A and B are shown apart, each in its own frame.
Chain A
Amino acid sequence: MATTRSIPLLKRLIARSQPSRSVTYMHRPGAGSPRPDGSPRQVTLIPGDGIGPLATNAVEQVMEAMHAPVYFEKFEVHGNMKKFPEEVLDSIRRNKVCIKGGLATPMGGGVSSLNVFLRKELDLYASLVNCFNMKGLPTRHDNVDIVVIRENTEGEYAGLEHEVVPGVVESLKVITKFCSERIASYAFEYAYLNNRKKVTAVHKANIMKLADGLFLEACREVAQKYPDIQYNEIIVDNCCMQLVSRPEQFDVMVTPNLYGNLVANTAAGICGGTGVMPGGNVGAEHAVFEQGASAGNVGKDSMVKKKTANPVALLLSSAMMLRHLQFPSFADRLENAVQRVILDGKVRTKDLGGSNTTQEVVDAVIHALAR
């Protein structure tokens, strides 16, 4: 059920195919601002851990070069902090938009993931990953353009587990009608607003009849309200296989939490890797943009030392953020510049087959902006 507030929110997440509108040139943010409340747009920036700071630094540089009317409010948060700093949460609640690098999650032990905490706290119920072929980046499959919309708050990753007796652990998977309905509504509304033709629900209801059955029911109910959009369902193991053999058949995919994690990462891998796919987490009130697929979002130590992390994913996510903030022309300029750099193929980081550093890619993008 899209409220009147979430429609503009959803509109701003439209992918690159919007024609750019001409805007009155504004010298600096805040000068003669057309914004209703008169203030420049402020966005919370969290550099994060590992390669996060490299990537967010890239975003800062590019925004500066474009004279984009956004101010960043930077906060240091690290994955090994006991809890998420209250001031950062306040900042996000105030600014409503955040862009961040990955936060490292320690394995085992008692500290839970701060990435997950942030999503739960702000109720960012939809995770969006847009996986598409980029020109100039050869992959095994062509014509791929998949948007994976993944339920972000419940399911297997709710972290509800306990040790019954030593040696036996019970893990609870919780699926609610409320959450399933809202993610299904988000997926169909996204498809509708972005002219997408098909929504596919990914499930394992033949085994988990009640849990995934509930999810499917919610999807079917919502599907009826959108007669123009094709709706189909696919069992998750078949889905994985189809993704690696014929990914062009998929358009928008709506999934519960765990399957979405795996499907999004598989789809990202097919289209060039997690270093290039943009994404974000969206709730009813807030939006946090970060690198699309979650694997390796903190990167390896060698990447941090040699400064060879790929900034493309976060740059494209910041373009999504610009659209969200109602700056479509800046978003278009940024995306065109990034796509031109990828198409040229001369400056690329290691995961795309090149050997350049992050800074070199950023310089190439800034240079392409000027063209």
Chain B
Amino acid sequence: MTKFCSERIAKYAFEYAYLNNRKTVTAVHKANIMKLADGLFLESCRQVATKYPSIKYNEIIVDNCCMQLVSKPEQFNVMVTPNLYGNLVANTAAGIAGGTGVMPGGNVGADHAVFEQGASAGNVGNEKLLEQKKANPVALLLSSAMMLRHLQFPSFADRLETAVKRVISDGKYMTKDLGGASTTQEVVDAVIATLH
């Protein structure tokens, strides 16, 4: 755990919150046990927080965080975490909101960005999904909308997101993980049809 990396992830989190009109940033840690390592992470977060007085900042211990996630997830907004906790928190949060088949995400650096399915669990899927071609394309479609925004094509991104959201809310074409029985291609056709 280094001050350099903790600082830059904290800066990214607060800048993201600021640019996207998010109200709260929560740091997830276990500094009561790992005093030096997570203590360093927290220090960096606190330092960066002072530069954004309009954004609320709070801290939560990771085990309490997991429990709050399953009882009152609406209290969380932007969460900044170190690597391991982030893996688990992201997958738990994705599960709460519908599963890893629908949550978008990406990996961002100073110079490059790689967009992929949000939460990492099952991102290769199992063989059955491959054979029957029933993988859920929604996550990657929403990630590609994020990519379009990143490339500065907000109107295309909006069209794509609206189309995907309408397909989900119609509920007619959904893959198995969302409770339906459609194949990937059927979902794609539905999205394309909605685009028009």
Taking beta carbons and an 8 Å cutoff, which residues of A are in contact with B?
105-110, 112-113, 116, 156-157, 159, 161-163, 166-171, 204, 235-238, 240-245, 258-259, 261-262, 264-266, 268-270, 273-274, 293-296
Contacts and interface: CB of A to CB of B under 8 A. Distances in A.
B122 interface: yes
> How extensive is the interface on chain B, given as a class?
35 or more
A245 B37 contact: no
Given A237-B121, A238-B122, A161 B36 contact: yes
A130 B6 CA distance: 36
B100 interface: yes
A261 B3 contact: no
Given A171-B1, A269-B66, A237 B33 contact: no
B86 to A, nearest CB: 10
B36 to A, nearest CB: 4
Contacts, number: 132
Contacts of A204: 87
Q: Please name the 3 residue pairs, one residue from A and one from B, whose CB atoms are nearest each other, closest first.
A: A167-B3, A241-B95, A269-B67
A169 B92 contact: no
B121 A171 contact: no
In the complex, which of the residues A106, A109, A166, A266 has the most CB atoms of chain B within 10 Å of its own CB atom? A266
In the complex, which of the residues A169, A264, A273 has the most CB atoms of chain B within 10 Å of its own CB atom? A169
Nearest to B2: A168
A167 B36 CA distance: 10
12 contacts: A109-B35, A110-B35, A161-B34, A169-B37, A169-B40, A236-B87, A240-B66, A241-B119, A261-B63, A265-B67, A270-B70, A296-B64
A287 B84 CA distance: 30
Contacts of B99: 241, 245
A241 B62 contact: no
A167 B91 contact: no
B34 A266 contact: no
A164 to B, nearest CB: 9
B121 A262 contact: no
Given A244-B92, A268-B67, A269-B68, A113 B33 contact: yes
Interface in B26-64: 30-37, 39-40, 42, 61-64
Nearest to B39: A108
A105 B61 CA distance: 12
B95 A245 contact: yes
